[in-house]
Structure 1
Amino acid sequence: MSATHTVFVSAATGSQGSNLARQLRSIGWAVHTTVRNPDTPAAKTLTGQGVELTVGDWDDEAALQASIAGCDMLFLNLSPSFQNLGSERVQARKILAVAKASGVRHVVYSSGPAAKHIEKLPIWNASSLVGLTLLSKQAIEETLKEAGFEAWTILRGSTFMQNFLAPKVAMYAGLVDTNIWTMALLAGDKMPLVDANDIAKFAAAAFQDPERFKGKDVVVVGDELTPEEIMECLSEETGRKLKFVALTDAEIEAQKAVNPLITAQLALRELKNFMKAEESRSWGIPMATFKEFLAHNKDLVKQTYP
């Protein structure tokens, strides 16, 4: 089957990119990407799916030019470097410039969940880790809108369901070892969640129907659960008794001095105000609930919570 379109997928070895590459290849579209090491299991999986790999990273303009050549669509998904928070913006500008020069027509950017509303966050601080990260993503959005592509789409995924499974669950220190999820969240407060595979579904839908998604800012939420409900779902699937413990105000204040990620947890409290599953469902794209996600990934659940 000849490819109808050719898509450059950034971070194709990651959760969103790998799912998107698989979905696009399943409909016969060509997929290009860059990888640092073509011998990793994730890269070999892409090769087995027929994805065209170019060795290089996002700082390697020659590799980007070689990989993006012939592509008419681009999926942009970058992660911040906490060692250099400005690098994400520089890499995005480079990728978008190469894409524009190469004839890419439609760009789908997977941005930050609250990057559109950062000034409305009660914990907003332009110099904090969260503030600097969201400002970078906001700047990338503006660069994309001003770049002159025929079409652009911005996707905003909520908290990844993958965060509760290996290897990402390491960000929740103590959860696997102690069965206790300690966070600066509010007990009983709904938290928007999404399976990274569903962000890929929205990206694939946008590429296949650019007129419908042109110039759209799309929230992607598959489920809305309280921290207690999240732990109940995990307990049912794992056979363990997991529970949520909310940090006290005093504990939060103490952690602010030593844990720069505590402000990210506080920001999670506000996502419910900007991200609603009802809005996501209005697009008519099937999405997984957290229970469905766990059932679909039951082998990894068992490995994560032996």
Structure 2
Amino acid sequence: MSNKKVIAVAGATGAQGGGAARAILADPESGFTVRALTRNPDSPAARELAALGAEVVRADFYDEPSVHKAFEGAYGAFLVTNFWAHGSAAKEIEEINVLVRAAKAADLRHVVWSTLEDTRELLPLDDDRMPVLQDEYNVPHFDVKGAANELFTQAGVPTTFLNTTFFFQGFLLQGMSPQRAEDGVLTLSLALEDGKLLAGVDVADIGRTALAVFKRGEEFIGAAVHLAGDHLTGAQYAEKLAAALGEPVRFQSVPYDVYRALGFPGAEELGNMFQYYGDFDQEFTGARDLNRLREINPALKSFDDWLAENASKFELS
């Protein structure tokens, strides 16, 4: 164990960080080991990682010295921030700056940064198709991460930019999973126009792909890897759900403005996100070459693959 390179994993008890930690720990021949960063090393999730062989350390993005200490002596890091923990673009920028400073101070050899496209590159703020949020963003949790890519580059941190997308796990969430309509038919309601493609991925494939990138090292320094496991229309997602669930599922397109007006926390942001996915589906999916991605990560799951493992988790009324 002592001769293995240490990968510090931010958010190690979350979906993305936990996936990265487990992917590394499950591959004893990788040459890497995990230092799991968490605000609460005594949590059940942290203890589970420790039992799998991770070194668990306390680190809090709002206690910068703790992050610097957590990165000391590490070879690399998998970095992710969770916008949805607070919903504030300003706070996420603050968190990312802490990570960049700590990565630079520790002289990390390779950072894999879980990021997203800055939607403003394709959709200027003066375009009136969607509301501007938090004064300067179309989709804050996209735009902040995308704009922050340059912080890593300017600081001279050797970084691979792993652009993620919609998680297949989203279909298990209340409000996103198929619901039974008044006529008894399961209905998948998405803010996505008919015929538009939505790139999706198993959240665990973020970690598996990150491990593949760490293994290949220099080849991916400074490069962007745009991740997805499938590109499907709403109707195709519904068709595959129907096959997995054993009963018909129809797709219902929800107008973007209707979705934004639903009133739940984040409704406007998610409405903008889905409109970006739809209005720029060719650009977004075009950046995600599934054949190339499967060359990097042969275990990359399609939606069918993911459903085969997760169909039993759907709670159908």
Specify if TM > 0.5.
yes
Q: Deviations over 1:262-282 (max 9, x none)?
A: 212212212442223862422
The farther-off stretch of 38-47 and 248-257 is: 248-257
* Residue in structure 2 matched with residue 282 of structure 1 by the alignment: 292
The reply to whether residue 60 of structure 1 matches residue 73 of structure 2 is no
Query: Among 106, 109, 115, which residue is 1:111 paired with?
Result: 115
Identical columns (%): 27
Q: State the secondary structure of the residue aligned to 2:285.
A: coil
The farther-off stretch of 214-223 and 181-190 is: 181-190
* Partner Cα separation in structure 2 for residue 125 and residue 137 of structure 1: 19
Query: Among 137, 145, 161, which residue is 1:154 paired with?
Result: 161
* Residue in structure 2 matched with residue 140 of structure 1 by the alignment: 148
User: How do 1:63-212 residues align onto structure 2 when only pairs under 5 Å count?
Assistant: 63-81=66-84, 82-112=86-116, 114-115=117-118, 117-121=119-123, 123=129, 126-127=132-133, 130-149=138-157, 151-165=158-172, 169-172=173-176, 175-176=178-179, 178=181, 179-212=186-219
Q: State the secondary structure of the residue aligned to 2:218.
A: helix
Amino acid at match of 1:221: A
The farther-off stretch of 243-252 and 205-214 is: 243-252
> Do 1:158 and 1:275's aligned partners in 2 also have CA atoms closer than 8 Å?
no
Q: 1:211: how far off?
A: 1.6
> Do 1:223 and 1:277's aligned partners in 2 also have CA atoms closer than 8 Å?
no
Amino acid at match of 1:210: G
Q: State the secondary structure of the residue aligned to 2:83.
A: coil
> Do 2:190 and 2:234's aligned partners in 1 also have CA atoms closer than 8 Å?
no
Amino acid at match of 1:22: R
Q: 1:176: how far off?
A: 4.4
Q: Which segments of 5 or more consecutive residues in structure 2 lack a partner in the other structure?
A: none
Cα distance change of structure 1 residues 223 and 3 upon mapping to structure 2, 3 Å threshold: farther
* Residue in structure 1 matched with residue 16 of structure 2 by the alignment: 16
Cα distance change of structure 1 residues 40 and 240 upon mapping to structure 2, 3 Å threshold: farther
* Partner Cα separation in structure 2 for residue 225 and residue 49 of structure 1: 35
Q: 1:33: how far off?
A: 2.4
Q: State the secondary structure of the residue aligned to 1:162.
A: helix
Q: 1:8: how far off?
A: 0.8
Query: Among 31, 35, 38, which residue is 2:34 paired with?
Result: 31
Query: Among 253, 258, 262, which residue is 2:271 paired with?
Result: 262
Q: State the secondary structure of the residue aligned to 1:297.
A: helix
Cα distance change of structure 1 residues 153 and 253 upon mapping to structure 2, 3 Å threshold: closer
* Partner Cα separation in structure 2 for residue 177 and residue 152 of structure 1: 45
* Residue in structure 2 matched with residue 221 of structure 1 by the alignment: 228
Q: 1:164: how far off?
A: 1.3
Amino acid at match of 1:13: T
The reply to whether residue 48 of structure 1 matches residue 51 of structure 2 is yes
Cα distance change of structure 1 residues 24 and 252 upon mapping to structure 2, 3 Å threshold: closer
Q: 1:300: how far off?
A: 3.0
* Partner Cα separation in structure 2 for residue 257 and residue 41 of structure 1: 30
> Do 2:9 and 2:21's aligned partners in 1 also have CA atoms closer than 8 Å?
yes
> Do 1:3 and 1:30's aligned partners in 2 also have CA atoms closer than 8 Å?
no
> Do 2:192 and 2:255's aligned partners in 1 also have CA atoms closer than 8 Å?
no
* Partner Cα separation in structure 2 for residue 262 and residue 278 of structure 1: 22
Q: State the secondary structure of the residue aligned to 1:203.
A: helix
Q: Which segments of 5 or more consecutive residues in structure 1 lack a partner in the other structure?
A: none
Q: State the secondary structure of the residue aligned to 2:289.
A: helix
Cα distance change of structure 1 residues 4 and 85 upon mapping to structure 2, 3 Å threshold: same
